[in-house]
Structure 1
Amino acid sequence: MNHLSQQQKVTIMIALMAAMFFASINQTLVSTAMPRIIASLGGMDYYSWVITAFMLMSTISTVLVGKLSDIYGRKPFLLVGIIVFMIGSFLTGLSADIYQMIIFRAVQGVGAGILMSTTVTAVGDLFAPRERAKWTGIMMAIFGFSSILGPTLGGVMIDHMAWKWLFWIFLPLGIIAFIMIWMMFPKATRSSVELIDYWGSLVLSASIVALLLGFSWAGNKYAWDSAQIIGLFGATVIGIITLVLIERKADSPVLPLSLFKNSIVTISLSVGFLMNAGMMGAMIYMPFFVQGVEGLTPTQSGFVNIPMSITMIVLSTLVGRWISNSGKYKRFGLIGIAVMIVSMLLMANMHSVAMAVVSMTVFGIGLGLSMSVFTLTVQNVLPPTQLGVATATSTLFRNLGGTIGIAIFGSVMNSAMMRNLEQAMTGGSGVDLSRADPETAAQLSKLMDPRSLMDQPLLMELQSKLPEEAQPLFAQMVDMLRTVLRDTLSTVFLLGAVLVGLGLVLTFFLKEIPLRTTNDTAPDTSEPNLQPAKAH
């Protein structure tokens, strides 16, 4: 797209930003409201599955569309991504039970994976890495803005209207984004004819499904040493070995093995994986602290995220400009990840809403400094002809990290919660239900899961049904559950800090090479195996 004028490129960027905002606002809108939505559907045990299904399908569609967009261009996939995401959003709003929501969120995930990956790749088509950093920072700021508006608006909506409107309210924006992409984005011409790697795509998708299902079910639905989990992980290993054999002979591999022979690529992918795995602890389980432990409403919970989003917007925009001006990027990755670790240590020691706000603000600073760095490093070191594969692979590892992180955190949270609850009941802080009459004891026994604190209408209903003499017992049980939930969340946040800490260690070994100032030439690097796929 080097033939386009700067004004044309800016016009196309407006269309891409509209598509980015449409995808991101629909994801952030439900973040604070999701616990209430799932509680109302009666499937809190499947809380992580709703998120995992979305991430699973997003991950698969991301990596598959990367190579295809290198062949056929970005425009058709941008349009398809918007359509699929809109269909998924509409159907999710019609969900009658938790199982339908999981299925329809999976459809949403397909569209999101296509849309988010292709949008970032399209920015790379328009600008060389040196200038790309500035525009990538702006795109991250768009995502940050949706992180401000989404949770807050989602909290207000879930408090005052039917939850289905959270998935429907921005559908008109999808139509606008579709029209803008259709009219403004240029159609790419195929410079060569490449064979589609069907077998590689199939085996890669199957391997991802087996891997993520194994992590999602282990320690929750099945024991870690059960035949089901061992079978899934075994299938993953077999799938990876088969994939390597296929990709070694494929003329146009969906996941070129040459990528992983470059140290800059492997380190960047590993850091992105660890960052997203650790980050999910903060993004997914902070509402459990704010709403469950502190008793705030979803609306108030949304306000807690605003400082984080503001700092992320400001830092993302500034870092993009700083990288474009200096050509240096490693320092921002190191500082940003270190700040994220500090924020997660603060989360592990939270005892008030004020501390939650401070920790999320620090977290936003870390995200803003480091979020776009490790995708930029991968794009910079690979030839422009592999831009789609580079971006998709980077997004793949981030999504894998996020999905596996959710599964691990969910397993850790369940086991830690059971252990803490048992200790609380056998210790001095336990609630003795034998002192209550049978009817009151039966009512209070419904609260034996600390996650019930997320369903505030249920708590109010139970409290209103209890006699006056049982109110102190109710208050004692709620206090005990909040203590159990707080201690459990501290374990989750500490685990997140450890994972992000591993990413910091790896970043020290990242080789920093100059950012290219053009998309016409291959990168200047001594790393081997950077040749694009063979064409026919």
Structure 2
Amino acid sequence: MEHLPIKQKITIMVAVLASMLFAALNQTIVGTALPIIVSDLGGMNYFSWIFTIYMLASSVTAILVGRLSDMYGRKPFILIGLGLFIVASFFCGTADTMVELILYRGFQGLAGGMIFSTAFASIGDLFSPRERGRWQGLMAAVFGLSSVFGPTLGGYIVDHFAWKWIFWIFLPVGFVAFVLIMRLFPSVPRKDHGRIDYFGSVFLAATIIPMLLAFSWAGNQYAWGSFQVNGLFALSIVALLAFLYTERKVSNPVLPLSLFGNSVFTISNIIGLLIGMAMFGAIMYMPFFIQGVIGTSATKTGFIMMSMMLSMVLSSTIVGQLITKTGKYKKMAIFGLTMMGIGIFSLTTLNTNSTNIDVIYRLVIIGLGLGCSFPIFNITIQNAVAYKYLGVATSSVQLFRQLGGTIGVSVMGAIMNMIMSAKMDTTTSKAGLQGGMEKAADPKVLMDPEQLEAFKAQVPAEQADMLNQVISAMRNTLSDALGGAFLFGVFTMVLAVILVLFLKEVRLKTSNQEDDEEENIIQVEENKRSTV
């Protein structure tokens, strides 16, 4: 599709970006609206499944559709994804029970995986590796903007309208994107790559789903080392072994293992996994510090977190342009990962005396580093593999990043809980809390300034000093626990910087046709050897 007029390419990319924004906003807008949804529908015990089911469904379909789109073209899958997402979003707003909402969110996840997978691969269809930098930067900017405006808009909608509108408000964007892609996106004739690898697909899904569930539930629903968590890990390992065996036997594997023989592909995906660990960990646990240690309201916390995403949008856009202009990326990757590591390390220096300004400039550093590195590894992988594997290779980036986020959030949570448990036992025993004062030692109270003030008002005046001492000790405990969790993020970034040093900087191709030429040369050489 490189031969298309530039105006048509840009129009197609606007539609693809609109599709991404439509799906990404629906993913991020739910968080702030969730308390209202739970109060309306009930099902408090199941609310986490609203996120979990989406994550599971999107992770599985992203990698599977990536391979299928290499065989059948991107257009049918991005249209199916958009159509299903529109329908699922509409039904999410009609849910009368939590079970219904979880079911519809599952369909949203299936569709979201299709959209994200084909959208990133579409850049590879339309543009050469050298030209992809600016568009990968814009894709990263779309994710950043959705993370900024999604939660804020979700809070505004539930404050002024029915919560159902968080799922309906962007439906026109989805319709417009669907029509534009249907009319402008070229259809690609089916390529004969053989039969679909059904067994490999099943075993791959059976590997991913238990693994993600194990890391999501460990330390929350179930303890680390529990029968449930260990059972899920065991099931994942068995499925992985079956998947590896199957992929070696079939002629058309869903995830060709030969790709991992490419050092650029393997190293880039491992770095993506490490970035996901640090990025999602920071996004998940920084609000704990802002609200629980500093005492900032939830609304202001959202605005503070914006600083990270806005700086990411800025740097990803600039870096994308620089890659396209220079054709170089390794130094930028080293710079971005190093800056991100420095920013995360600076989070460990925060304490109970820190202010919101102290947090903001640290988040800006993280965001700038994240924006520098986020778009690069899509480009390195797409540039390193043959064009016929573009879809599955691009989808692997999304999969590894999602796995990294799930693992990182789980491990950081385990570290935080371990440190807090050890220090809280000491704090409560020294204070000798009794007579209802035990509630002051509950970290959840620190997360809600209004609830904390209400609790203070109920405490007798003679116990006010003791209460303030306990609250101060709990803030210190939470600060230390989060500092320990962020150290794990620093460790992942150190590993990422070391790995990128071993990343071979391959010349960015100026045309997708170079892949076909290289394959033809290889085939000719093989034919010569076989003849001899």
Give the TM-score range, shorter chain. Answer: 0.7 to 0.9
Query: What displacement does 1:176 show?
Result: 2.5
Distance 1:508 1:77 in 2: 36
Counterpart of 2:528 in structure 1 is: none
Distance 2:389 2:509 in 1: 15
Is 1:454 the counterpart of 2:457? The answer is no
Where structure 2 has 5 or more consecutive residues not aligned to the other structure, the ranges are 525-532
Is 1:511 the counterpart of 2:504? The answer is yes
Query: What displacement does 1:77 show?
Result: 1.6
SS at match of 1:522: helix
Alignment-mate amino acid for residue 305 of structure 1:
M
Counterpart of 1:492 in structure 2 is: 485
Query: What displacement does 1:261 show?
Result: 0.7
Is 1:419 the counterpart of 2:412? The answer is no
Deviations 1:111-149 (A, max 9, x none): 222211211111111001001112211222232233332
Alignment of 1:175-186 (within 5 A): 175-186=175-186
Distance change >3 Å, CA 420–CA 103, structure 1 → 2: farther
Distance 1:110 1:205 in 2: 13
Query: What displacement does 1:404 show?
Result: 1.8
Distance change >3 Å, CA 334–CA 72, structure 1 → 2: same
Alignment of 1:222-241 (within 5 A): 222-241=222-241
Alignment-mate amino acid for residue 226 of structure 1:
S
Whether the aligned pair in 2 keeps the contact of 1:380 and 1:523 (CA below 8 Å) is no
Alignment of 1:78-477 (within 5 A): 78-90=78-90, 92=92, 103-157=103-157, 163-192=163-192, 194-350=194-350, 351-427=354-430, 430=431, 432-434=432-434, 436=435, 441=436, 445-446=438-439, 448-456=441-449, 458-459=451-452, 462=455, 475-477=468-470
Distance change >3 Å, CA 161–CA 445, structure 1 → 2: farther
Distance change >3 Å, CA 420–CA 523, structure 1 → 2: farther
Instruction: Please identify, of 154-163 and 296-305, the stretch whose mean Cα deviation from structure 2 is larger.
Output: 154-163
* Identical-residue share of aligned pairs (%): 43
Alignment-mate amino acid for residue 382 of structure 1:
V
Query: What displacement does 1:58 show?
Result: 1.7
SS at match of 1:305: helix
Distance 1:530 1:381 in 2: 18
Distance change >3 Å, CA 453–CA 523, structure 1 → 2: farther
Instruction: Please identify, of 197-206 and 343-352, the stretch whose mean Cα deviation from structure 2 is larger.
Output: 343-352
Whether the aligned pair in 1 keeps the contact of 2:279 and 2:405 (CA below 8 Å) is yes
Alignment-mate amino acid for residue 419 of structure 1:
A
SS at match of 1:180: helix
Instruction: Please identify, of 119-128 and 164-173, the stretch whose mean Cα deviation from structure 2 is larger.
Output: 164-173
SS at match of 2:513: coil
SS at match of 1:173: helix
Counterpart of 1:3 in structure 2 is: 3
SS at match of 1:154: helix
SS at match of 2:175: helix
Whether the aligned pair in 1 keeps the contact of 2:348 and 2:486 (CA below 8 Å) is yes
Distance change >3 Å, CA 360–CA 126, structure 1 → 2: same
Distance 1:291 1:110 in 2: 34
Distance change >3 Å, CA 96–CA 346, structure 1 → 2: farther
Instruction: Please identify, of 132-141 and 26-35, the stretch whose mean Cα deviation from structure 2 is larger.
Output: 26-35
Is 1:29 the counterpart of 2:29? The answer is yes
Distance change >3 Å, CA 257–CA 170, structure 1 → 2: same
Distance 2:287 2:90 in 1: 25
Instruction: Please identify, of 325-334 and 148-157, the stretch whose mean Cα deviation from structure 2 is larger.
Output: 148-157
SS at match of 2:395: helix
Counterpart of 1:534 in structure 2 is: none
Distance 2:71 2:324 in 1: 29
Whether the aligned pair in 1 keeps the contact of 2:136 and 2:378 (CA below 8 Å) is no
Alignment-mate amino acid for residue 356 of structure 2:
V
Distance 1:80 1:374 in 2: 27
Distance change >3 Å, CA 495–CA 193, structure 1 → 2: closer
Alignment-mate amino acid for residue 508 of structure 1:
L
Alignment of 1:520-535 (within 5 A): 520-522=513-515
Distance change >3 Å, CA 309–CA 213, structure 1 → 2: closer
Distance 1:125 1:330 in 2: 23
TM-score of the superposition, structure 2-length normalised? 0.88
Instruction: Please identify, of 491-500 and 454-463, the stretch whose mean Cα deviation from structure 2 is larger.
Output: 454-463
Give the number of equivalent residue pairs.
520
Distance 2:89 2:467 in 1: 39
Distance change >3 Å, CA 103–CA 503, structure 1 → 2: farther
Query: What displacement does 1:352 show?
Result: 2.1
Distance 1:123 1:93 in 2: 32
Distance change >3 Å, CA 141–CA 214, structure 1 → 2: closer
Deviations 1:415-446 (A, max 9, x none): 3332232232124xx4x443x4xxxx1xx545
Query: What displacement does 1:354 show?
Result: 1.1
Whether the aligned pair in 2 keeps the contact of 1:450 and 1:484 (CA below 8 Å) is no
Query: What displacement does 1:151 show?
Result: 3.5
Distance change >3 Å, CA 409–CA 161, structure 1 → 2: farther
Query: What displacement does 1:241 show?
Result: 1.4
Distance 2:230 2:17 in 1: 43
Structural RMSD (CA)? 3.2
Alignment-mate amino acid for residue 401 of structure 1:
G
Whether the aligned pair in 2 keeps the contact of 1:32 and 1:287 (CA below 8 Å) is no
Where structure 1 has 5 or more consecutive residues not aligned to the other structure, the ranges are 532-536
Query: What displacement does 1:183 show?
Result: 2.6
Query: What displacement does 1:494 show?
Result: 1.4
Distance change >3 Å, CA 288–CA 98, structure 1 → 2: farther
Alignment-mate amino acid for residue 297 of structure 2:
T
TM-score of the superposition, structure 1-length normalised? 0.87
Alignment-mate amino acid for residue 495 of structure 2:
L
Instruction: Please identify, of 392-401 and 96-105, the stretch whose mean Cα deviation from structure 2 is larger.
Output: 96-105
Distance 2:190 2:476 in 1: 60
Alignment-mate amino acid for residue 273 of structure 1:
L
Distance 1:525 1:378 in 2: 17
Instruction: Please identify, of 398-407 and 501-510, the stretch whose mean Cα deviation from structure 2 is larger.
Output: 398-407
Query: What displacement does 1:5 show?
Result: 1.0
Alignment-mate amino acid for residue 344 of structure 1:
I
Distance 1:390 1:169 in 2: 33
Whether the aligned pair in 2 keeps the contact of 1:220 and 1:411 (CA below 8 Å) is no
Distance change >3 Å, CA 523–CA 408, structure 1 → 2: farther
Whether the aligned pair in 2 keeps the contact of 1:33 and 1:298 (CA below 8 Å) is no
Query: What displacement does 1:218 show?
Result: 3.1
Deviations 1:173-212 (A, max 9, x none): 2223222222322222213263111110000001111222
Alignment-mate amino acid for residue 214 of structure 1:
A
Distance 1:56 1:530 in 2: 39
SS at match of 1:130: coil
